[in-house]
Structure 1
Amino acid sequence: MADAAQEFTADTEQAPDAAKDERMATRRKWLLRLLIVVLVLGALYGIWYVLVGRNHVGTDNAYVNAEIAQVTPLLSAQVTEVSVTDTQAVKKGDILVKLDPTNARIAVEQAEADLAEARRRFRQTTATSGALSAQVTARGADIAQARAQLATAQADFEKARIDLQRREALAPDGAVSGDELTSARKGYAAAKAALDLARAGVAQAEATRVAAAGQLAANDALVKGSTEDTDPAVLAAKAKLDNAKLDLERTVIRAPIDGVISKRQVQIGQRVTQGSPIMSIVPISQVYVDANFKERQLRRVKVGMPAKVTSDLYGGDVVYHGRVIGFAGGTGSSMSLIPAQNATGNWIKVVQRVPIRIALDPRELAEHPLRVGLSMEVDVNVSGR
């Protein structure tokens, strides 16, 4: 009995040790399996990183952007019609707003009258040149007539001079009476006066012809080398008319691009001023993505590299394909309204982000439109493939 009791006691003491050893063996087995799984996963990650991961850089700090068109009136007038509302899609050339055209129409009519007046003045100037040319010819005839009168006066003067000389020569002998001598002297004086008058007439006729020729030259300078359509005054009036017609066309404001109306700030009856924004048009078919990458991520990124982009709006099932088209001229903080100033003793280095622009495939945008400001996730393939 004593031997049996001792054997039972020994078996009872060995049982916990055996169970403990079995648990330790099981634990080592699972730890070994876990180690193998971790090593396999690490090897798989290493293979993935070597083959794929190291050739990709990504960020979720990216947003949709676009070249938004500001619609502004080009003249001041009262609004008579508003044809669009916010969120409405429009095509290039669609009518957005109509302005009161009354003043513009009056300006067109005034410009048309000014153009007609300029044409009339050109025709009048052309006709005046013909009249002045005739006057120059007439003044030439007057000069010929004055010269003929001068020749007659010269002949009369020579005759009167000779007659006076003869009578003065005979007067001492008493062959000529005093009255006859006096009459000869008067005739001589009258002939001399007539000669002076004839000479003055020739000078006056010549001066009149010079004046007429000057007027003709001045008038010809206004029309020489020009036609009614190329006359400077007519061209200026045409330009004024074109400008008035352009202002009349601008009373109808049309969409400059395809897109969606946003921020409409105009109502019927409102008087808008030239250059004041009245609405915006977002070209949703031409949006792009501005992705803010950390500076260390951009070591291998180049313009033209392919990128995959997903949107929080559609989730990961919709993937946009694009390309890097440019880098910003500075970091986001340097381009902010109040740039950071790090010239202090408490300076701490902060990783900077540089915006890069990703152009998206237009066909994919047409299938899944995006809106400005949406959050995006960008993955750039730096291998270029």
Structure 2
Amino acid sequence: MTDTAVQTLPLTTPMRRPTRRQLLIGGGGLALIVLLMFGLHWLTVGRYMVGTDNAYVRADVVTITPRVAGYVAEVLVADNQRVRAGDVLARIDDRDYSVKVVQAEGIVAAAQAEVAVREARIANLGAQSHQQRSLITGNVAGVTASEADARHAGLEYSRQVLLTRQEVTSAQNLETAEADAKKASAGLAVARASLAAQRDRLPVLATERQAAVADLDKARAALVQAQAALTLARNALGYTVLRAPTAGVVGQRSLRVGQYAEVGTPLLAIVPDDAYVIANYKETQVGPVHRGQPADIEVDAFGGLVLNGHVESFAPASGAQFALLPPDNATGNFTKIVQRMPVRIRVDPGQARAAELRPGMSVVTTIDTRGAAR
């Protein structure tokens, strides 16, 4: 029997490990592809993106301060409470201010009565002037009558003198005619004197009327002052009610019932819902940035959630210019430092969690400078 050797083949063919050269070629190709993709992205998108992490959420926070002093009588809001525009926040004790309003109303009423008295005085002087003109007219008629009587008495006396010379009448008739002539002359003088006195009365009445008009103007000026004082008193009474000037959330509340509030003392703040972002870009970055360009807002507090917005406006100067002590580069040694230019970015409405933005939050903003300026 002949033994036959049987050769068994392996079930699987062993894989050859790539050589170092193949690894280098593959890695280089992959790196080249990644580099090409990155370069393409940078050419088409990346080089137009301008970003900064020096950005924060802001809002036009309104500080509520009283315009009148007094003790706080009632507080109607709590910390972190949402309010609407016009809601009553607190009330200051208004008893003293109510009394001042009543006092001012009394002064106005007295001033109005004084004006009425002055107007009546002017009307009375006008009536007296009219009456005086009527008296003058009557005196003119009286003078005319007296002149006629004096002329008649004079003629009668002349006839009696002539008749006496002719011895036609008696001496008694002559004496009577002479007396009548003198009486008529005296009556004419009295009438003329009365007419002159009545005429002289007119300038006196005119002067009195001018003085009355001046007094009326003074009374009216006092009335205007009294009405202004009443308006101020009513305004002060209205200021005892503190109202929300805008809708928002109450914060930094320090007022308490019974607290004495001074004029201008901050009592609380209203943080409106209309938040925006102030991004401080380097001055070398803002060249291609224009109003209306879209921007991405990455909010740190929301775990990197990105909100959409757009460039709204630019600050008129760098932040250093608004500092308490702005730098003076004309003194001492000079070191050039890139300045920061604040850019205001408006958050587009209607986005998820956009209403949860709070002033002071840190964000990262990226502006797409490919967007056309508006």
TM over 0.5: yes
Cα–Cα, structure 1 residues 118 and 56, in superposed 2: closer, same or farther, change >3 Å? same
Query: Is 1:359 the equivalent of 2:346?
Result: yes
Equivalent position SS for 1:44: helix
- For residue 233 of structure 1, report the CA deviation from its aligned partner: 7.5
In the alignment, what sits opposite 2:280?
292
- For residue 197 of structure 1, report the CA deviation from its aligned partner: 2.0
Equivalent position SS for 1:61: strand
In the alignment, what sits opposite 1:35?
28
In the alignment, what sits opposite 2:87?
94
Match of 1:44 among 37, 47, 57: 37
Q: Contact conserved, 1:286 with 1:362, CA < 8 A, in 2?
A: no
Match of 2:199 among 195, 202, 206: 206
Equivalent position SS for 2:322: coil
In the alignment, what sits opposite 1:20?
none
Which shifted more, 156-165 or 326-335?
A: 156-165
- For residue 257 of structure 1, report the CA deviation from its aligned partner: 0.6
Query: Is 1:264 the equivalent of 2:257?
Result: no
Cα–Cα, structure 1 residues 32 and 340, in superposed 2: closer, same or farther, change >3 Å? farther
Match of 1:248 among 227, 237, 242: 237
Q: Distance in 2 between matches of 1:172 and 1:378?
A: 138
Which shifted more, 255-264 or 187-196?
A: 187-196
Query: Is 1:369 the equivalent of 2:356?
Result: yes
Query: Is 1:330 the equivalent of 2:317?
Result: yes
Q: Distance in 2 between matches of 1:365 and 1:249?
A: 40
Aligned residues: 353
In the alignment, what sits opposite 1:310?
298
Mapping for residues 116-265 of structure 1, pairs under 5 Å: 116-117=109-110, 119-120=112-113, 131-158=124-151, 161-162=154-155, 191-209=184-202, 211-212=204-205, 240-265=229-254
Q: Distance in 2 between matches of 1:179 and 1:245?
A: 90
Q: Contact conserved, 2:111 with 2:222, CA < 8 A, in 1?
A: yes
Match of 1:281 among 270, 274, 285: 270
Q: Distance in 2 between matches of 1:133 and 1:291?
A: 77
Equivalent position SS for 1:149: helix
Q: Match for 1:293: what amino acid? A: Y
Q: Distance in 2 between matches of 1:153 and 1:170?
A: 25
Q: Distance in 2 between matches of 1:365 and 1:222?
A: 71
Q: Match for 2:340: what amino acid? A: R
Mapping for residues 70-85 of structure 1, pairs under 5 Å: 70-85=63-78
Q: Contact conserved, 2:161 with 2:174, CA < 8 A, in 1?
A: yes
Cα–Cα, structure 1 residues 168 and 274, in superposed 2: closer, same or farther, change >3 Å? farther
Q: Match for 2:76: what amino acid? A: S
- For residue 366 of structure 1, report the CA deviation from its aligned partner: 5.9
- For residue 212 of structure 1, report the CA deviation from its aligned partner: 4.8
In the alignment, what sits opposite 1:58?
51
Structure having the higher helix fraction is 1
Equivalent position SS for 2:296: strand
Q: Distance in 2 between matches of 1:296 and 1:355?
A: 13
Which shifted more, 202-211 or 257-266?
A: 202-211
- For residue 232 of structure 1, report the CA deviation from its aligned partner: 8.1
Which shifted more, 294-303 or 372-381?
A: 294-303
In the alignment, what sits opposite 2:328?
341
Which shifted more, 172-181 or 332-341?
A: 172-181
Q: Distance in 2 between matches of 1:332 and 1:314?
A: 28
Cα–Cα, structure 1 residues 35 and 237, in superposed 2: closer, same or farther, change >3 Å? same
Q: Match for 2:292: what amino acid? A: G
Q: Match for 2:287: what amino acid? A: R
Unmatched segments (≥5 aa) in structure 2: 1-16
How big is each residue's C-alpha offset from its partner over 1:229-287, in whole Å with a ceiling of 9 and x where there is no partner? Answer: xx98877665554443333222111000111222334333333333343222111x111
Which shifted more, 106-115 or 243-252?
A: 106-115
Q: Distance in 1 between matches of 2:119 and 2:328?
A: 74
Q: Contact conserved, 1:111 with 1:241, CA < 8 A, in 2?
A: yes
| TM-score, scaled relative to structure 1 | 0.76
- For residue 162 of structure 1, report the CA deviation from its aligned partner: 4.9
Equivalent position SS for 2:188: helix
| TM-score, scaled relative to structure 2 | 0.77
Q: Distance in 2 between matches of 1:133 and 1:328?
A: 69
- For residue 30 of structure 1, report the CA deviation from its aligned partner: 3.5
How big is each residue's C-alpha offset from its partner over 1:152-172, in whole Å with a ceiling of 9 and x where there is no partner? Answer: 433444455456667777999
Cα–Cα, structure 1 residues 367 and 295, in superposed 2: closer, same or farther, change >3 Å? closer
Q: Match for 2:200: what amino acid? A: A
In the alignment, what sits opposite 1:380?
367
Q: Contact conserved, 1:62 with 1:378, CA < 8 A, in 2?
A: yes
Match of 2:289 among 297, 301, 310: 301
Which shifted more, 356-365 or 304-313?
A: 356-365
Which shifted more, 337-346 or 163-172?
A: 163-172
Identity fraction in percent? 35
